[in-house]
Structure 1
Amino acid sequence: MKRDITSQAFKKQIITYPQNCDRMTEPPDTERYREWNAADSLLPLADGELQLWRFQLTDDAFFPGCANYLIPEERSRAERRRASRPREEFAVGRACLRILLGNALRMPPLDIVLKESPFGKPSVVNSAEHISFNVSHSKGTILIGLSRQETVGVDVEHIDAGIDILEIAQSAFTAKELERLKALSSLDERRRAFYRCWTQKEAITKADGRGLSLPLSSFEVPAAPAWHTPVLIYDPTGTEKHYFLSDIDPGDAAIGAVATDSPNCRILQLNFPLSRLSSHLVKQGD
């Protein structure tokens, strides 16, 4: 479940950014992995790899074809979304997720059984192979992350110049994060910093799996540009958990982030051409 950025009521339980965790330096080939690469076909999901797929919706005509990759309950969920864009984002996102999972697990997409946790995070329940995945979408941009070993959380947000970022930050950010935000003199710089902080926090909560039940103000993120940057949170028993943040540039006036529980996974950013959403893609997973 995605948090509504315009409606916040979070409790304050501050967990500071770990002072003993040094920010990891970027490897020499980081920029190559940060580029979005065109994919003519679905790639095998390698161990130690996080595939991050990007979809840009430009044509409402894609929706009818996507319905062929949805089970009846998912088609009903799509139809209940009255606005065309949210309906299309859900349908295309879920259809493409099924295709990617089918490819990784070597199963027909419609045979995959997805079940949501009590906090709303879905998982595959009818495969002996473990796979972690997460989906986020905003105004026509869809991101899907998959990994065999690492826990994955992704978030994308389009910048909205009409919201009061300081009002939202008062309840969603820690005191230090709010102070850093207010210190920025340029409104554009402040707005981008807000969305960077927001997406980093959302990616962490989605990787952790507690989603909306984990207050954004209960832990601190760097807010500065991140690449495998460590962030400390606590689970309900008080046990420390570290996640590792990397910023993503989704393009089109959007900001994104991905979080995993491993500092060593290789992030591969891939464009998924929606024109190839056809039956021959499904057969690759058989």
Structure 2
Amino acid sequence: MISVQVAWAGLGDARADLLTLLDPVERGRHEETAAPADRARFLVGCALSRLLLGELLDLPPADVQLRRVCPRCGGPHGKVRLDVPDAPAPYDFSVTHSGALVGVAVSPDGAVGLDVEDVDVPLDVDAAARTALSGSEFAALYALPPAERHPAFLRVWTRKEAVLKALGVGLRLPLRGLEVSPPEAPPALLTWPLAPASHPAPHLTDLRLSDLRLADLLVDGVHPATVATAVPGAGAGAGARGAVSGPGGLRVVPRDGSAILAAHGR
């Protein structure tokens, strides 16, 4: 069973004292971010990540070593990972935010990706669908009544984004070539583009479709989210689906991120 902790918080959880948890690079980025809402999202995501990882590693949150190195250009951006010199990182984690929502997923079992979409954020579904959906996904979306297209698109989008984040490749794989199951079906990755020799995540070049596990979530009962794991060699597997378990043996453990942040400094 692959296990993932998922914690949710919001912009209202941002407090000045959380800045003490950030490293110098993170504090610099926080100071350089102009929009107050963007600063709050960044602060909450960094602080919550450090609190969760510190708890698991039995370290003070500020002592958790993180690195931001792009696998293609070596720049200080891309997916944030634990920095464990000369040893495999014991946990992978993923941060997501949309509107007032901020989420962090942490797994000890393999690469993880998390995505959430705030249903209240304006979206041009027509334009987004033309960019992100395969031919069959696009046809299925427009076979739905107009009122159902927005939530259906968001469900498909969260699944694709979670997979891309688990792979650590961002939007470098063509979204239209990465196809997921229909919104009303259990979450699954159906097809993806063949990885070139210069795959931006070389440690995942042997990954099979059956090694990708997905679980759909609803935040506050309305906002769609998806968590995905990429575990080479995991195989197809089989597992019961329940309130906190996805197909193929993916178990999602919910955490109250707001409570975790509020408890810091008490």
TM-score when normalising by structure 2 = 0.79
Cα distance in structure 1, aligned partners of 2:185 and 2:66: 31
1:152 equivalent in structure 2? 112
1:65 equivalent in structure 2? 17
- Does structure 2 retain, via aligned residues, the 8 Å contact 1:232–1:240? no
Q: Are 2:171 and 1:212 aligned?
A: yes
1:124 equivalent in structure 2? 82
- Does structure 1 retain, via aligned residues, the 8 Å contact 2:81–2:92? yes
Q: Percent identity?
A: 32
Cα distance in structure 2, aligned partners of 1:134 and 1:81: 20
Cα 1:79–1:190, aligned 2, differ >3 Å: closer, same or farther? Answer: same
Amino acid at match of 1:222: S
Q: Are 2:251 and 1:251 aligned?
A: no
Cα 1:194–1:81, aligned 2, differ >3 Å: closer, same or farther? Answer: same
| Mean Cα deviation higher: 138-147 or 152-161 | 152-161
1:225-278 CA-to-partner distances (Å, cap 9, x unmatched) read: 455634443433485632122111012742211111253231112222346342
2:74 equivalent in structure 1? none
Q: Are 2:105 and 1:164 aligned?
A: no
Cα distance in structure 1, aligned partners of 2:148 and 2:11: 27
Give 1:164 shift. 2.1
- Does structure 2 retain, via aligned residues, the 8 Å contact 1:131–1:148? yes
Give 1:122 shift. 1.4
Of residues 162, 185, 209, the one that matches 1:203 is: 162
2:54 equivalent in structure 1? 102
SS in 1 for 2:188: strand
Q: Are 2:5 and 1:51 aligned?
A: yes
Q: Are 2:181 and 1:222 aligned?
A: yes
1:143 equivalent in structure 2? 103
Cα 1:105–1:231, aligned 2, differ >3 Å: closer, same or farther? Answer: farther
- Does structure 1 retain, via aligned residues, the 8 Å contact 2:125–2:153? yes
2:242 equivalent in structure 1? none
SS in 2 for 1:223: coil
Q: CA RMSD in A?
A: 2.3
Cα distance in structure 1, aligned partners of 2:264 and 2:122: 38
1:166-185 CA-to-partner distances (Å, cap 9, x unmatched) read: 22211211000000110001
1:21 equivalent in structure 2? none
- Larger RCO (CA within 8 A; separation ≥ 6): 1
SS in 1 for 2:171: helix
Amino acid at match of 2:8: R
1:213-234 CA-to-partner distances (Å, cap 9, x unmatched) read: 1121121011324556344434
SS in 2 for 1:101: helix
Give 1:157 shift. 1.1
Cα distance in structure 1, aligned partners of 2:101 and 2:227: 15
Give unmatched runs, 5+ long, in structure 1.
1-46, 281-286
SS in 2 for 1:159: coil
Give 1:75 shift. 1.2
